[in-house]
Every structure is written in C-alpha cells, then in structure tokens.
Amino acid sequence: MDALLYFAPIAGICALLFAFYLIRRITAMDAGNARMQEIAAAIHAGAMAFLGRQYKTLVIFILIIVVIISVVGLLTTGADSLKPATALAFAIGAACSILAGNIGMRIATKANVRTANAAYQSGLNKALTCAFSGGAVMGMSVVGLGLLGLGIVVLFSNDSSIINGFSFGASSVALFGRVGGGIYTKAADVGADLVGKVEAGIPEDDPRNPATIADNVGDNVGDVAGMGSDLFESYVGSVIAAIALGASLQIPNGVIAPMLIAAVGILASIIGTFFVNVKEGGNPQKSLNRGQIISTVLAIIGILIVCLTVLDEGYVVGDKSYTALGVFASACAGLLVGFVIGNVTEYYTSADYSPVKRIAKSCETGTATNIISGVATGMLSTAIPIILVAIGILIAYACAGLYGIAMAAVGMLATTGMVVAVDAYGPISDNAGGIAEMSELPHEVREITDKLDSVGNTTAAIGKGFAIGSAALTALALFTAYTQAVGISDINILDPVVVVGLFIGGMLPFLFCAMTMNSVGRAAQSMIEEVRRQFREVTGLLEGKAKPDYARCVDISCQAALREMVPPSVMAVVVPLFIGLCPGLGPECLGGVLCGTLVTGFLLAIFLANSGGAWDNAKKYIEEGHHGGKGSEPHAAAVNGDTVGDPFKDTSGPSLNILIKLMTIIALVFAPLF
Amino acid sequence: MDALLYFAPIAGICALLFAFYLIRRITAMDAGNARMQEIAAAIHAGAMAFLGRQYKTLVIFILIIVVIISVVGLLTTGADSLKPATALAFAIGAACSILAGNIGMRIATKANVRTANAAYQSGLNKALTCAFSGGAVMGMSVVGLGLLGLGIVVLFSNDSSIINGFSFGASSVALFGRVGGGIYTKAADVGADLVGKVEAGIPEDDPRNPATIADNVGDNVGDVAGMGSDLFESYVGSVIAAIALGASLQIPNGVIAPMLIAAVGILASIIGTFFVNVKEGGNPQKSLNRGQIISTVLAIIGILIVCLTVLDEGYVVGDKSYTALGVFASACAGLLVGFVIGNVTEYYTSADYSPVKRIAKSCETGTATNIISGVATGMLSTAIPIILVAIGILIAYACAGLYGIAMAAVGMLATTGMVVAVDAYGPISDNAGGIAEMSELPHEVREITDKLDSVGNTTAAIGKGFAIGSAALTALALFTAYTQAVGISDINILDPVVVVGLFIGGMLPFLFCAMTMNSVGRAAQSMIEEVRRQFREVTGLLEGKAKPDYARCVDISCQAALREMVPPSVMAVVVPLFIGLCPGLGPECLGGVLCGTLVTGFLLAIFLANSGGAWDNAKKYIEEGHHGGKGSEPHAAAVNGDTVGDPFKDTSGPSLNILIKLMTIIALVFAPLF
C-alpha cells in the first residue's frame, strides 16, 4: 500500500503545474497603458518590499527555532524524544508556506493591472477570468506546496513527532502573515485615510497620497498572503493531526487516507476552476458559486472512493468498531459545516439581509447606537457557527471516533484550493479598481471592477467564516493529537489545575486582541507621521507636480508592523511552553489552557470578524443612498463604525485563527518535553 | 455543637437591628424644603412603582417554579430525589431577597433627599454619614436577611438538596434585579438623554423632562436593588456551596463553619461602619477605605477564631489531610483576591491612572479611535483578575481541597455587608446631586454632592469588580457542589461531548449579551416615544408651566424592561435543563456547558464593565478641561464612547454575573433528575 503515499506529492505537483499554466496565461495578457503599468509596478514593488523585509525577520526567527529544536532534540533521547529531524521538517514547512505566499503575491500583483485592462479592453468575463486566475494561482500554490512538502516529509519518515515539525513551520509563517500582515494592512489603511482623506481632503486611491500604494499593497498582504498562510496552516495541520491520530490509534491505512483525501480535493478544485466564467452582464457571484459547488461535489465523490478503497477494513478503537462509511460521514460533516459557516457569515455581514440593514438603520440615531448594534450583531452571530461545529464534532465522533474529528477537519479543508482561489480573487479585483481610479480609466471600467469587487466582499466574508471554522476544527484535531502525544487520556475539569488552565487559556485571546488592536494604533501613528512629513517636505506634492515616495511609506509601515507583532507572538509561543514545563501546572493544565483558548478564541474571532464585516457593509449600504446616503449624519456614524471594525475584522479577529492553532502545535511539537 | 447553628440567625438579626437603628436615624433627619420633598417623593414613588410592577411578574414566576419543583419532587422519590420542601426553601430565599431589596430601595430613596439637605444645612460630614447610612441599610438588609433566612432553613433541615432551593430563590430575584433592572435603568437613561438633551436641548436632571424621574429611579434600581440582589445571591450561594461540600465530604463541622464565618463577617461589617466619617474639607474616599479596611481586618481575625475553634480537628479527603489553618488560608486567599480585583478594576477605570488617560487622548483622533482604545483596554483588563482568581483557586485547593475553594468564596464574601454599604452609597449621592439640581439649591451644595458622587464612581467600580469576582468564585463553588450532587468525579475534556459542552457554554454569554444589548435599544425606544408624546401633547411643558407625567415614564420603561428580560431569562433557565436531560448530552456535557459559561461569562463581564467604566471616566476627565474640555470635538467623541459603554457596564456586563450563577444553581437544584 506504500505506493499510495506517492499520490499525495503527485497531486501536489499537479496543482503546481496547473498554477504554472495559469501564471503563463496571466503574464501573457496585456498589462495596459504606461500609467497603469507604472502604478501596478509600484504596488508590485511595494508588495515585494514588504515580503523582503518580512523574510529578513522570518529567517532569523526560523533559524532560532531550528537551533532550539535541534539542541533540545540532541539533549533529550529516547523513543518519544524531540528529534533534530523535526527541525528539518519545520524548516521545510516554513519554506513551503513562504514560497506559496511569494508566488501568490507575485502573481496577484500582476493580475490586478491585467484585470483592470481586461475590464477596459474586453469586458466582464475576461476581467473575471483574469482576477480569478490570479486567485487560483494562490490557491493552487497553497495546496500544491502544502501537499508536496508534506508528502515528501512523510515519504522520508513515518514518525509523527517529526511530521509535526512541518505543521509548526507552516504555523510560524502564518503568524507573520496574519499578525504582522494584519497590523501592516490596517496601519497603511488608517494612515492613508486619516492624513489623505481627512487632513488633506483628497479622495481615496489618489496617487498624490504617499500611503496609497502601501494601502493597496496592504490588501494583498492581508487577503492574499495572510489568508493564504492561514489556510496553508489549517490545511497541513488538519492532515497532520489525522496522520498522528491514525498512527497512534493504529488504524489500517489511517496515515494514508487523509493524504489521499487532500489529493482528491486538489483534483476537485482544479476541475472546479474551469467552471468559473460569466456572460457579459451576467452575475460573477453565480459563476464563483458554480465553481465551488462543483468542486465540493467532486470532492465528496472523491472522499467516498478513498474511504471505500483504503479504509475498507474499518478499524477498532477500544471496544468500538468503525467502518469506511463512518469516516466518509465524518469528512462530509466537516465539509458541510465549513460550507454552512461561510454562508452564515455572509448572512450576518451582507447588506442583503436584515442584520446589516438594522445596523444601517441604527446609524440614524448616531455613532453610539451603530456601535452597540454592531457589537450585538457580532455577538449574536457566534451562536449558529458554534452549534454547527458542535453538531459536526458529535457526528464525526459518533461515526468514526477521535479519528473522525480529525477527518472532519480534513474534509472541511479538502477544497482549500478552490476556497483560497475565490478568496484571493477579492483583493485582486479591489486592486484593479484602485488602478483604474489612479490611472483615470473611463467610468465604465470602474463599474466592471466595482461589480467584481462587490462580489469579492461577499467571498471575503465567506472565506473569513471558513477560515475561522477550519482553524477551530484543525486546532481541536491537533489538540486531540497532543493529548495522544503526551499520553494523557483524561483531562478532568474537576481538577482545579485544569479549571485554572481553562480560565487562563480563555483569557489569552482577549489579551492577544487587546495587544494587536493597540499595535494597529501605534503602527498607524508611524505611517501618519511619514505621510504628514511628505506632504510638508515634498514641494508640489499636493498640486500633483511632484511624486511621493511610495516605497518609504511601505517600508515604514512594514517595519512598524514587524516591531509590533513581537509581543503578541512571544506570548503565543512562550505561554504553552511555560505552562507545560512549570512544576505544579504541567500537561493537564496545558490541556485546559489550549481548550480555553480554543473556545474563546473561536468565539472572539467570529464576533470580531462579523461585527467588523457588518459595519463595513452597513456603510456601503448607506453610501448606496439609504438613510440619507453619502455625506449625511447617518453616513458619518457608519464611517465611524467601519473604522472601528477595521482592526476587528482585519487584524485582531483573523490573528486569533493563528493563536489557537499555533499554541496547540507548539504543545504538540514540544510534547516529549512535558 | 448544634447550638452553634443558632449563631448564624442571631448574627442576621443583629444586622437587621442595626439596619433598623440606621433607618430610625435617617428618617429622623430633615428632608429639606417643599420642592426637595416633592422631587424626592416622585423618585420614591417611582422606585416603589418599579418594584410593585416587578413583584407582580416575579410572584407569578416564583409560583410557577414552586409548582414545578413540588410536582417534580412528588413524582420522583428516593434519597437523592428533588423534594417539595426544596420549593419552600426556594420561596423563602426569594422572599428574603425581595425584602432586602425593598428595604434598601425604600431607605435609599429617603436618604437621597436628606443627603442633599444635609449638604445644604450642615456640610460634608453630615451628608456623607447620611448617604453612607442609607447604603449601610441596604448592606445590612442583604446580609441580615440572607443569613437569617438561610440559618432558619438550615435549622429545620440539614439536607443539602433542600438548602439549595434557598439559593435558587435568591438567584431568581437577582435575575429580575440585574437583568430587568439593568435594562430598565439604561432605557430610562438613554430615553431621558436622547429626547431631553439632544432633541429638546434641555440640561440633564431638568424637571421639565418627563423621563428625569425615571432616570433617577434607574440609578437606584440598577445600583441599589440590582447590585444588592446580585451580592445577596453570591453571599448565600457561596455559603450554601460550602455547606453542600462540607456535608458531602463529611468534614467535621464543615456545615457550621461557613455560616459562622458569615456571622463574624456581619459583626466585622457593623463595627466597620462606625469608622466612616470625615472632617469638613476632608476626603470621603479615605473614610470609606478606612471603614472597609477595618472590616476586613476584623473579618480575618474572626475567620481565624472560627477555624481554630470549630475546625480544630481538621479533616481528610481521599488520601490528603487538611488543617484548620489550611481552611483559614483558603478563606483569606478569597478575601484578598476580592479586594485586589476591586482595586484592579479601579486602576483600569479611574481617570487617575494611565489607561483612562490614554483613552481620553485617543478622543483627539475621533470617536472610532476612542472606541477601539476602550475595547482594547477592557480586553486587556481581563488578564490580572483572571490570574488572581487562578492563583486564589490554586492556593485554596492546595490548602484545603475542594472545600477550600468554596471557603475562599465564603471568605471573599464575608464583608459583603460593608461592600454593599459602600456601593449603595454611590447612587444615593448621585440622586442627592440630582435633587439639589432640580430644586435649585445653591452651587456649593452641588459641589459637596459632586464630591460625594465622584467618590461614589470609584466605589462603584470597585464594587463591580468585586461582584464579578465573587460571582465567578461562587459559581465555581456551586459547580463543584453540582458535580458532587450528580455524583460525577470526572468530566473529561477529551470526551467530545464535554468539548461540545464547553463550546456551547462558552457561546451563551455572547448570546446573552447580544440579547440584553438589543433589549436596551428596544426598551429605550418605548421610553423615547413616551417622552416625545408628552412634549408634544402636554401644553406648556417645555416652558415649565405644566408638569410632566413622571409616573407614566417609569411605568412604560418598567413594562418594557420586564418584557425584554423574558428571552434571555428563559435561555438561562431552559438551557441547563435541556442539556442535562437531553439523551446523548447529559450531566457531563452540562458540566462542560457550566464551565464554558463560567469562563467566558467572567471574561466578558470584566471586559464590558471595565471598558464601559473607562469610557465614562474618560468623558468626565475631558469635561474637567483636558483635551479641549466640554463642547470640543474630543468631548463629542468621548460622549459617544460613554453612550456605547452604558449598556456594556450597566446592563450586559452585570447581567452575566447572574447568568453564570443561575445556570449553575439550576443544575445543582435539578441535579437529582439528571
């Protein structure tokens, strides 16, 4: 059966080949006139500058961790010890995630201008195809490099404690992508808006604003690289958790099955992308939905085939026996929960439904009622996702035991390629609109890009919900693997040490959010000062006679973000190690901490993402002419809500996905020490 | 040793006699001129009208529960079954809490005008004494009726499952006091402000505003009756949890000890009140602190004596033995944690320290940054209280086992009489200021009442922190008693049913907050419409020629509050019963739910209370002339923050204290059914 292990890396290579084909297609397209190319080049250069600076810090971080793991691994010996090879797996995992993010960003910042030009020269379908292809490159890079890298590691070693290192590497990159990236994108956004729109009185995306390129870079940093690294982490994390459980529970082919499911998911995603196209005047949303539904259906069929062929023997855990169909049901439960959570997110954050309409109405009585209404909506929106995940867990466990919970996560993430493609399509369209604006293309072009962009907002909301749900389920699967790794079969809530763990763990997401929110404020301050300086010192800038120094804004914002991400990151890394190693606390207490962080992290992430998203769309709804429209008092209230929501939905909320996974993976990797 | 059981009701009677003495002293004071008496009479009548209407609903609620418990008790038989006598204990508990609230409110609304008049006629010390005596009546009623009622129940039955009924009764009243009262007070506040200040342009506390009496009634409803019923619940809940654990762990004198500690705590509180007085021009804060410190020191000495005399044998649980000094250490740990949490709350919400100053500064860049800064501060402020409670739990458990955790809660609440006295002093001073304003007393009078009021804000912050901390520790003690009652010694987080419980339980506080926040909005709407109607229909009202219909505003706001509290209350009551009785979920899952609710409820309560308090004081800080002062742009931003914070700190936050206790007590009372 070991020949089956080659399927995973082969599927990964298929994804990469497909990505390569898409890249060829995108780069062959016309990049528009000189002005457009100039702006696009600035965004591209900014994005690359951001990545370059990030890599400098990241490489140091990775080297330190490699040394720590290697040294600790050499000092501890025995069957269950930490191994130097884990450090290698860690480095490979980090490298794969970095490479995926780099390819994705590189192409996204080429696809944006070509999307604008396609909208200008050819119309809706060509523009959609270009933007979606750009997103699909990111999606295919994520799943391709994820499964190729992991497949190679698994081919060389079937030792779970080594394989876990790969997941830790992915987590580390995601930390930089989501936390650092999240701070960067909002610092740039706030800086650009506050000095540009409010102080200097120039419109959004105006080329005279020195921060405007940084702002456009930020969209890519947050929604392409950040989201990509987050889902990369969930993707490999879920597969690795299933591998670890499959091995420790001694399930026949339990290690191969999750990799094969990931492999068929890749093929399903590739096929799905071919169904994304739209007639002139048609609805891009429908075509994206079509692509996703086809991928999902194909993935379900593929999962069924995998289960029936490699898990046909079934397995026994304790006194319970499970069948292949049970595992299939678990994976499908995960897949469906992910799908529905995404749509619930859309319900709470789209202006098509009553929650956002109610928030928009509350703007009539001012900012305060808008804020209260948004907070209440965000809190309310936690109920259904939690209940869905709870039902998913119960079904998965009933059908296939603990292994079923991990397989639910694998099932949920099977179509990650498609999910990332649809998600990364958003910022590309958004960028295309910005480029159209800055290069003064005709109004109709902006109309097409706006149409694509508004669909992008919906897909972004769905993607966010999916990312949170998958992070929670992956963390739970990793948590289960952790308890197997430390060999504890009982974490008793009635033990006060565990309760204390739950309390402390529950508090960490609040602390983490507070830290990241304050970070955005401070990083934005650095940006504001730089923009003010340029307006003051660069003569002729506001008259459009001189060019601003875009690169410097990108650089300053990037530096500030990297500086600000240190304290929350250190907390996420150090706390699990401290709790696990501290005498009197130890692995049971750590179990409580991880569980507490998982619960409140998941809840806060949904709350923050959805209230932020709802405020954003309530503002847009008012701008469409409701409740007084642009420039009215309610609009001013809505703008305040939107600004409050920015760090909620783009920094603190998504960063929590990383917190809950990273803490668990650290516990898992360092489990031999506890 | 049974003779010792009489100490508790005797101490309760002492407290009530002392309250009676204070009442005589207060009512003997001069109630001021006719105008003042007229206004005070309106507030008094409004408060009584609120209570009257609340009682109507409450009596029906109590009767329904009495019938349910009795019927279920008659249907189930056996040693562990639910008993009809539990229904009687429930009714007694409810009656005691209602009576305490009624006495407290009745006297608070007499003390307010006498405080104003004392400030007018005699000066600071007399005013402070009057306001504090009014608060002390509430404090003594709470602990007196709490311990007298509980003492009588215990004298008649030593069956834990019957005694638990008393706690459930107290919880039910607290539900109405905190949730209903919380919605009422903010609906009245928002209604009064929005139509009065914003629409009609008349100042705060202006007698022409029909909602102004309702607003002043609201201060009493929220901070006197609401806080009183909350701490009444914690007070009896902690003692009952210790009794239940003392009985089930068969600790010699384990049932008597917590009641004796409560008794010495009452005596310590009575003595402490005699030290609250101030010289002319002195600092009222210092005198209140002096009273509290003396009570605390006396309580510690009393607890030591109780432990050394009745627990001198020590006890053995499992293979561990504990001593009297261990229990003493546990109780002291609780007492100190309560004290420090209160002060941490003050740090985060007082304008004397950097967090509020930073929030005030953030108002310079507008409302949005103010909101973000306040949210971040509130989230940050969860860290220290959680860590303190965690340390307290670990110390208490190490020193005295599970019984120690309950005794930590008893210790924390020993000086409840003093805590409530200091807390209820706040709204009386606030009311006195309002009466001075409305009856146009000289400016110097307002200066004295403002001085008292500003101290009241600090004590309110400390009281809120204390209430949250004590609710959490009481709920944990009750939770431990619940697990003993259902006979489970292991609730394993690795069991997916428990994890699902943690997820669902963790979500409930979010849902509960969302519901109560929306409730305030809707109830305020009813109030706004009534005030607008009166301004429109009562001719000569705005010119001061006609009198508004104050009573109708009180009534409408009260009706709305009682209507709005139904859905969240039903949720709090039904969910534990449903989870406990649902096949496939059951008592272990319910354990997870209770624990999840406890963790996120505690966290959210701190977050909401502290961000709300911080915004409030940031606004006051700006009004003192910082960052542009009253009427400036930063002030407008600060006002928005304060309005957002109102339902946070006065409705949703405090209501969570009830949620976490009530759900646990329901689980405990109905444990025989699971």
Min Cα distance B153 → chain A (Å) is 29
Q: Count interface pairs A-B at CB distance under 8 A.
A: 201
Q: CB distance B507–A394 less than 8 Å?
A: no
pLDDT digits (tens, 9 = 90+) for A521-555: 888 888 888 888 888 888 888 888 888 888 888 88
User: Of B476, B492, B602, which has the smallest distance from its Cβ to A492's Cβ?
Assistant: B492
Burial class (CB in 10 A: 0-12, 13-18, 19+), A48: middle
Please state the length of chain B.
674
Q: What is the average pLDDT value for chain B, to the nearest integer?
A: 91
Nearest chain B alpha carbon to A372: B644
Question: Given this model, what pLDDT does residue B612 score?
Answer: 94
Please choose, from the candidates A475, A467, A469, the residue with its C-alpha nearest in 3D space to the C-alpha of residue A591. A475
Whole-angstrom distance, CA of residue B427 vs CA of residue B223? 6
Cβ distance of A379 and B517 shorter than 8 Å: yes
A478: nearest Cα among A419, A416, A405: A405
A545-569: string of b/e by CB count within 10 Å (b at 16+)? eeebbbebbbbbbbebbbbbbeebb
List chain B residues with CB under 8 Å of A397: 496
What is the largest distance, in Å, between two alpha-carbon atoms of chain B?
79
Closest residue, chain A, to B604 (C-alpha)? A510
Which residues on B lie below 8 Å from A510 (Cβ)? 379-380, 382-383, 603, 607
In percent, the amount of chain B with pLDDT more than 90 equals 66
Cβ proximity of A579 and A645 under 8 Å? no
Residue A322's H or E segment, with its range, is strand A320-322
* A644:B368 CB<8 A: yes
Confidence of residue A557 (pLDDT cuts 50, 70, 90): confident
pLDDT digits (tens, 9 = 90+) for A414-471: 999 999 999 999 889 988 988 998 888 898 888 888 888 888 877 888 888 999 999 9
> Which chain B residue lies closest to A382 (C-alpha atoms)?
B507
Can you give the pLDDT at residue A458? 78
Interchain CB distance below 8 Å, B375 and A600? no
- pLDDT on residue B79: 62
- Statement: residue A257 has pLDDT above 80: yes
Q: Which of A600, A650, A655 to mutate to test the interface with B (most CBs of B within 10 A)?
A: A600
Whole-angstrom CA distances from A63 to A55, A59, A671, B174 are 12, 6, 21, 57
Contacts of A599 in chain B (CB under 8 A): 502-503, 506, 596, 599-600
**Secondary structure class of A274 (helix, strand, coil):** coil
Q: For residue B365, how far is the Cα from the chain centroid? A: 35
CB contact under 8 A, A372 and B603: no
Measured CA to CA, the distance from residue A567 to residue B346 in angstroms comes to 25
Angle between helices B653-669 and B443-485 (to 10 degrees): 30
Per domain, the residue ranges of chain B are: 13-673
Q: How far apart are CA B598 and CA B475, in angstroms?
A: 7
Mean residue pLDDT across chain A: 91
Residues 6+ apart with CB under 8 A from A659: A508, A509, A512, A568, A572, A597, A601
Cβ–Cβ gap B366/A640 under 8 Å: yes
Q: What is the tally of helices (H) and strands (E) in chain B?
A: 22, 2
On chain B, the residues whose CB falls within 8 A of the CB of A488 are 494
Is the model's pLDDT at A1 over the cut of 70?
no
Substitution target in A362, A375, A479 with the highest count of B β-carbons within 10 Å is A375
The residue behind tokens 């739209």 is A278
- Facing residue for A640 by CB, picked from B368, B494, B507: B368
Q: Shortest Cα distance from A231 to chain B (angstroms)? A: 22
- Cβ distance B503 to A390 less than 8 Å, yes or no, reads yes
Whether A605 shows a pLDDT value over 80: the answer reads yes
What pairs with residue B322 in β-bridges? Answer: B315
Give residue A256's pLDDT band: very low, low, confident or very high (50, 70, 90).
very high
A203: confidence class by pLDDT, cuts 50, 70, 90: confident
Helix segments in A194-313, DSSP class H: 212-220, 227-248, 256-273, 284-310
Amino acid at B300: I
**Is A341 a residue whose pLDDT tops 80?**
yes
Residue A357 has which token pair? 């309409």
C-alpha count within 13 angstroms, C-beta hemisphere, residue B436 = 28
Residues 6+ apart with CB under 8 A from A552: A210, A530, A534
Q: Do residue A397 and residue B510 have CB atoms under 8 angstroms apart?
A: no
* Selection from B362, B382, B405 nearest residue B653 by Cα: B382
Which residue, among B603, B334, B589, B571, has the nearest Cα to B483 in the 3D structure? B589
The minimum CA-CA distance between B178 and chain A, rounded to whole Å, is: 19
Å between B512 CA and nearest CA of chain A: 8
Long-range contacts formed by B304-307: CB under 8 A, 24+ apart: B304/B328, B305/B264, B306/B257, B306/B260, B306/B261, B306/B264, B307/B257, B307/B331
CB-nearest to A513 from B379, B498, B518 is: B379
Report pLDDT for B648: 95
Q: What confidence score (pLDDT) does residue B655 get?
A: 94
Q: Do B376 and A499 touch (CB under 8 A)?
A: no
Q: Which of A284-298, B541-555, B599-613 has the highest mean pLDDT?
A: B599-613
Distance between CA atoms of residues B280 and B85, nearest Å: 54
pLDDT at A193: 81
3-class DSSP state of A80: coil
ipTM (interface pTM)? 0.94
Residue of B nearest to A199 (CA): B365
Selecting from A368, A483, A643 the residue whose C-beta is nearest the C-beta of B644 gives A368
Contact A46, A225 (CB under 8 A): no
Which residue in chain A has the smallest CA separation from B371? A644
Is residue B544 very low, low, confident or very high in pLDDT (cuts 50, 70, 90)?
A: confident
Q: What's the rounded Cα separation, in Å, for the pair B485 and B160?
A: 9
CA-closest candidate to residue A519, choices A479, A568, A478 = A568
Distance CA B260, CA B265 (A): 8
Taking each helix axis from N to C end, the angle separating A7-27 and A84-121, rounded to the nearest 10 degrees, works out to 30
The chain A residue lying nearest B487, using CA atoms, is A494
By C-alpha distance, the chain A residue nearest B525 is A365
Instruction: Give the closest of A367, A490, A514 to B380, CB-based.
Output: A514
Rounded Cα–Cα distance for residues A59 and A71 (Å): 18
Closest listed residue to residue A310, CA positions, set A263, A259, A253, A261: A253
B214 and B552 Cβ atoms separated by less than 8 Å: no
Q: What is the Cα A83 distance to its own chain's centre?
A: 30
Nearest-by-Cβ selection for A371 from B365, B498, B644: B644
Distances (CA, A) of B455 to B106, B228, B449: 23, 19, 10
Q: Which residues of B touch A500 (CB under 8 A)?
A: 390, 393-394
- Tell me how far apart the alpha carbons of residues A86 and A66 are, in angstroms, rounded to a whole number: 9
Write out pLDDT tens, residues B66-94: 999 999 888 877 666 788 899 999 999 99
A148: distance to nearest CA of chain B, Å?
32
Measured distance CA(B114)–CA(B121) in Å, rounded: 10
User: Which one of B478, B494, B519 makes the best mutation probe of the A interface by having the most chain A beta carbons within 10 Å?
Assistant: B494
What confidence score (pLDDT) does residue B182 get?
Answer: 92
Residues A145, A101 contacting (CB under 8 angstroms): no
pLDDT at position B105: 93
**C-alpha span between B595 and B597 (Å, rounded):** 5
Name the minimum distance, in Å, from the CA of B598 to any CA of chain A: 9
**Residue B477 main-chain phi, psi, to 5 deg:** -65, -45
Collapsing DSSP states into helix, strand and coil, what is residue B38?
helix
Nearest to B191 by CA among B450, B552, B477: B552
- pLDDT > 70: what percent of chain B? 99
- What DSSP state is assigned to residue A278? -
Nearest to B491 among A493, A496, A503 (CB): A493
Residue B132 has pLDDT above 90, yes or no: yes
The reply to whether residue A393 touches residue B499, judged by beta carbons under 8 angstroms, is: yes
Q: Which residues pair with A320 in a beta bridge?
A: A317
Separation of alpha carbons B297 and B292, rounded Å: 9
Question: Do the Cβ atoms of B383 and A584 come within 8 Å?
Answer: no
Name the one residue in this structure whose structure tokens are 């003594």.
Answer: B140
**pLDDT confidence of residue B282:** 80
Distances, alpha carbon A298 to alpha carbons A15, A254, A264, A272, in Å: 16, 22, 8, 8
Task: Answer whether A93's CB lies under 8 Å from A169's CB.
Answer: yes
φ and ψ of A414, to 5 deg: -60, -40
The dihedrals phi and psi of B475, each to the nearest 5 degrees, come to: -60, -40
pLDDT at A79: 62
Q: Which of B514, B521, B600 sits opposite A380 (nearest CB)?
A: B514
Instruction: Report whether B609 contacts B468 (CB < 8 A).
Output: yes
Rounded CA separation B536/B530 (Å)? 10
Quick check: B354 pLDDT over 70?
Answer: yes
Contacts of B394 in chain A (CB under 8 A): 496-497, 500, 584
Q: Enter the pTM of the model.
A: 0.95
Please, which residues bridge with residue A321 across strands? A316
Two tokens at A657? 């996905």
Mean pLDDT calculated for residue range B534-544:
85
Q: What is the spatial distance between Cα A314 and Cα A327, in angstroms, rounded to a whole number? A: 9
Name residue B320's beta-bridge partners.
B317
Q: How many CA atoms lie within 13 A of B159 on its CB side?
A: 15
With beta carbons under 8 A apart, name residues in chain A contacting B368: 640-641, 643-644
pLDDT at residue A254 in the model: 92
Residues B303, B409: Cα–Cα separation, whole Å: 13
Nearest to A496 among B397, B489, B517 (CB): B397
**Of A154, A146, A133, the residue nearest A23 (C-alpha):** A133
Note the pLDDT of residue B164.
Answer: 93
